[in-house]
Amino acid sequence: MASSAHARREDRSLRRSHSSLHENFRSSSATGDGYARRIGRVDSSDHDGASEVSSIHGGYTVIIPPTPDNQPMLDSRRGSIESTSEFMDSSISMRAEQEMVSSSIFTGGYNSMIRSHMLDKMTDGADEDHPQLGGGTCRMKGCDEKVIRGERGEELSPCECNFKICRDCYMDAYKAGGRCPGCKEPYKENDDDIGVSLASATLSLPQAPDARAERRLSLVKTKKYSEFDHANWLYETKGTYGFGNAVWPKENDYSGVKSGGDVPDFKDRARRPLTRKIKVPAAILSPYRLLVVVRFAALVLFLTWRVAHPNTDAIWLWGMSVVCEIWFTFSWVLDQLPKMCPVNRATDLPVLKEKFDEAGPDNPEGRSDLPGMDIFVSTADPEKEPPLVTANTILSILAADYPVEKLACYLSDDGGALLTFEAMAEAASFAQVWIPFCRKHAIEPRNPDSYFNMKGDPTKNQMRQDFVRDRRRVKREYDEFKVRINGLPESIRRRSDAYNAHEEIKAKRQQIEAGLEPIEPLNVSKATWMADGTYWPGAWSTPTVDQGRGDHAGIIQVMLAPPSSEPLFGNSGDDNLIDTTEVDIRLPMLVYVSREKRPNYDHNKKAGAMNALVRASAIMSNGPFILNLDCDHYVYNSMAFREGICFMMDRGGENIAYVQFPQRFEGIDPSDRYANHNTVFFDGNMRALDGLQGPMYVGTGCMFRRIALYAFDPPRYKEHGGICAGFCCCWCCGNERRRRKQVHSKDAKKPELESASINGEEEDAEMQLLPKKYGGSTALLTSIPRAEFQGRPVADHPGLKYGRPPGALRERRDNLNTAVIAEAISVISCWYEDKSEWGRSVGWIYGSVTEDVVTGFRMHDRGWRSVYCVTKRDAFRGTAPINLTDRLQQVLRWATGSVEIFFSRNNGLLASTRMKILQRVAYANVGIYPFTSVFLLVYCFLPALSLFTDQFIVQTLDILFLVYLLVITLTLCMLALLEVKWAGITLEEWWRNEQFWVIGGTSAHLVAVLQGLLKVVAGVDISFTLTSKSGAEGESDEFAELYVVKWTSLMIPPLTIVMVNMIAIAVALARTVYSSNPSWSKLLGGVFFSLWVLMHLYPFAKGLMGRRGKLPTIIWVWAGLISITISLLWVAISNPANQFSSGFTL
């Protein structure tokens, strides 16, 4: 036995892959081309010599997953399953395989093999008690593998003698006769502690469907209502099992409610909706709609009057103003029409719990019937997105109030940074303390940084006596956690420098031994090293070939393995930080993903990263619902996931593509100088769109239906009276197949056998088209019908035809194994999307910097609906840039994406007939609104031009002109008051939004139009820098960024408007005062007009002053030069000196 262990240590990579992947490797070797060509190069990086490569990658396992070019034979796979089941305890092998998956990092991609590397530790300070970060070693001589560990992280022993053994040695012992190497006694096959179950063997590959009936993804096997035998409960008379039996409870039997023995209303309870729509009161909405009509009529009459009464003295001034006013009216109509039908919505969480979570006759163990949910968190640069912020977001997700076994969190690290990887490992370790603490004391919010920095009494509403002690201990642990996170950059740098110095010494010694000149340069890469002394497969601090931010292999690391289906309660031992005897200590699955990037492949920014996560999660967890969050948006309401799932699981929820939550922000200055909260949009426009076809997708805080991302049509959409009936109609060529079926059904003379043969050929043709749409992964294709079925609402009464049977999702989720992770690595490779529909019609859509709006538009265009979920307690909270320059850059990115949408096929004007008319108007406005900046810029200069030239936009201030202005202004104010009322915002927020509309319109929107035109006409690509997220660590002033003045060219137009208008007011005032024939009406009109512009630009001017009221010199220089130039230009064009008295000259 010892010699066997020693031999295994010499050739560990072959032994690790032998039992589970032997047949797969054999079949792939038989295929000389196909997948074998893609993995022809053994190493993804070129190092010095074969010995160096073997030392670095000695612990890796080469894994070749089943792909379309490499499918294992069914018979050999079944033989492997049977042989494995004969000698191996299924429960032990399950835990061993699970531990191997969660303790290994998987890498691979284009032109490189897929490898798994067992990590001894993930960080320098890894705790050996953590199930993924450490553990004891095997006691077999010559073996240094980690022992098998249990759900709690404790070491498992298959024998009563407690002999510690690893997975590979355990398999060898079973093969050699099934005796323990320690006590020489045979292993017990039915040990209660081990929980032997020969039902499955996780070392086998996922079954590939072989029969044609099994290959038809449109056929979903469902349970029948008759499967449950009600007779056992109908005649039960002694036990009381709640309302599920035929014996009604006596008085005061349940919850102390005096029922009087009345029969419960079963029908009403079964049909209680999960959500309800709350309409805006007619007393608010009816006057609002009436005022819209009145103001529109006033605008039409005003424009008619303006066109009919030109100013002949300044026809150019009149013409510019009329054109601008016509455009402003058109823009206002586009913005106002979608606001005519605002609605509010509410959820009923107790009903959701009663239907899906409560124990009953058909669910005695109380397992949850809620569908699975995959949470996507995206990050790209740890320097601009601090790892501590990302870690806190991950912790808030893992602590959410949702069934643990149904939740999976995926972190997309698009930069491939080791800093992010080790920060997530630290977060996984701290989660073992933080999450039980949150569950025990019902903590809100469950972001540790926000919770411990929260003002107020932390003991409020806390009933347990040990809360203060637990909080103090957890707070101390969190402080240490922050120290470790903040010290990771320096730790990684020191570790890498030490290892690189060692490599240089080794290379120098080899150079001397080879007899080379010492002066020759050493070919040693400045690598980034992991804590276990191996190369980091992602981006290095000093980029090299295959190790850069845009050039590295795909990486997947399961930080926290999938939990068991049964609750796992803690204990009150001295080793525990807090008492968890009554707390479920299971943790949701946490996966680190960094997709492969190569220089010759377009990675499509955030949209490409999201699509990679969609494919990887479909293979690993396949949650029918996906919620995406930015790394700085954390879960503020632990019930938010349940609130969103209420809409998906309610009647009619099958037609909902996504549930959008409002964005709420922290760290904003109290006055909200730059309208960062954006409440007019999130509480006004989005509520109004909810009354149409649904709100737009705004990039974060959105819960998707997975099959909606797969470009399926909704189950029922009304278009010309037609209905898309069933899931099979959603596949490619589904409409054509239905047409052919109707033709075949009309011909009654054809034999049934011939008709069945034709249908089978049609489905086979469909199956051949699927890889062209979704790629060649069979595992991904087979996951689609399961996700569709699991995402259906529960058919809890006969009236609901499209649904799934109750209790269909209570089965245990499949465990992960190495073949599954290897398949996930292949679908995040850079070449997987080639010749597929990913990014064109499937998943997040490419081609725009605002991929979120385009993705939501495509779903609405296919007939899907969306829902706006505004919770009483904010669902999510994030950070927003409070610095003027950063805010303008953010608005510039949004506006540029809108211009791209306007010039693309995603324009709302080109939408299909499945989209409602007002919804189409809203999407059209998204692409049109940046062009308003051109007219706004001109209109902001008009008062200055009027004052310089002593002219006005009208020839005389006619009484009718003033009446029109009064009516338009009053209706605008009244509309604002009513909108504030039904949207739930304040007048100050509405006014801040108006001010920043002018600031952004005269700066960022204008540049966006120019950039968009350059991209469309000249093909100039547009790139943006990532918005920095503040970690708020170590800053004495919370709003320090607000006062920082960063120069940008976007400031030139609004600054010029301010300076020119101020100079114009001074010039006009002086001219009128010293004029022999002053025109006070024109002066008042021009000054009022100019002051109105300056009032809107006041936050911009205040932001330029900074903290001490000082401006950078370059701002004064540019503003002064431009203002003087414009002033002298008008003096030269129209010299008003002859209008002045001799006492004043210009």
Nearest C-alpha neighbor of 116 from the set 50, 65, 185: 65
Distances in Å between the alpha carbon of 574 and those of 426, 541, 583, 792?
Answer: 23, 42, 16, 46
Number of H helices, E strands in the chain: 38, 16
Query: Would you state the structure tokens that stand for residue 1082, as one six-digit string?
Result: 């024109």
Whether residue 650 lies in the annotated active site: no
Marked catalytic residue, from 89, 168, 374, 414: 414
* Residues β-bridged to residue 347: 275
Known binder of ligand: residue 384? yes
Known binder of ligand: residue 385? yes
Helices 1080-1096/1098-1105 angle, 10° precision: 60
Bond before 445 cis per omega within 30 degrees? yes
Residues in the chain: 1146
Q: Which helix (H) or strand (E) holds 64?
A: none
Query: Would you state the structure tokens that stand for residue 1123, as one six-digit string?
Result: 């203002």
Side chain identity at residue 235, one-letter code: Y
Side chain identity at residue 121, one-letter code: K
Cα 61 from Cα 583, distance rounded (Å): 38
Give me the half-sphere count of Cα atoms (radius 13 Å) on the Cβ side of residue 1020: 9
Cα 400 from Cα 640, distance rounded (Å): 8
Query: Would you state the structure tokens that stand for residue 821, as one six-digit string?
Result: 């992770």
Known binder of ligand: residue 378? yes
Kindly tell me the burial class for residue 1006, based on how many C-beta atoms sit within 10 Å of its own C-beta (0-12, 13-18, 19 or more). Answer: buried
CA atoms 683, 685, 688, 690: torsion sign: negative
Give me the half-sphere count of Cα atoms (radius 13 Å) on the Cβ side of residue 869: 30
Marked catalytic residue, from 168, 852, 886, 950: 852
Q: Which helix (H) or strand (E) holds 345?
A: strand 343-347
Distances in Å between the alpha carbon of 890 and those of 668, 850, 932, 968, 1099?
Answer: 15, 11, 18, 32, 17
The distance of Cα 30 from the centroid of its chain, to the nearest Å, equals: 41
Side chain identity at residue 60, one-letter code: Y
Q: If you search the block for the tokens 């009057």, which residue do you land on?
A: 305
Query: Would you state the structure tokens that stand for residue 572, as one six-digit string?
Result: 């009150």
**Do the beta carbons of residue 53 and residue 44 sit within 8 Å?**
no
Distances in Å between the alpha carbon of 50 and those of 42, 47, 274?
Answer: 11, 8, 63
Side chain identity at residue 992, one-letter code: R
Residues 107, 108, 112, 117, Cα dihedral to 10°: 20
Cα 956 from Cα 504, distance rounded (Å): 85
Q: If you search the block for the tokens 């100013």, which residue do you land on?
A: 311
Known binder of ligand: residue 606? yes
Cα 1134 from Cα 391, distance rounded (Å): 64
DSSP letters for 292-305: HHHHHHHHHHHHHH
**Do the beta carbons of residue 622 and residue 787 sit within 8 Å?**
yes
Query: Would you state the structure tokens that stand for residue 118, as one six-digit string?
Result: 């067992």
The distance of Cα 1084 from the centroid of its chain, to the nearest Å, equals: 53
Query: Would you state the structure tokens that stand for residue 549, as one six-digit string?
Result: 């931010």
CA angle 316, 319, 320 (to 5 degrees): 90
Nearest C-alpha neighbor of 641 from the set 1013, 1048, 850, 357: 357
Known binder of ligand: residue 188? no
Whether residue 602 lies in the annotated active site: no
**Do the beta carbons of residue 515 and residue 563 sit within 8 Å?**
no
Cα 154 from Cα 1127, distance rounded (Å): 80
* Residues β-bridged to residue 302: none
Binding site, annotated residues for Mn(2+): 606, 630
Binding site, annotated residues: 378, 384-385, 414, 605-606, 630
Active-site residue set: 414, 852
Binding site, annotated residues for UDP-alpha-D-glucose: 378, 384-385, 414, 605
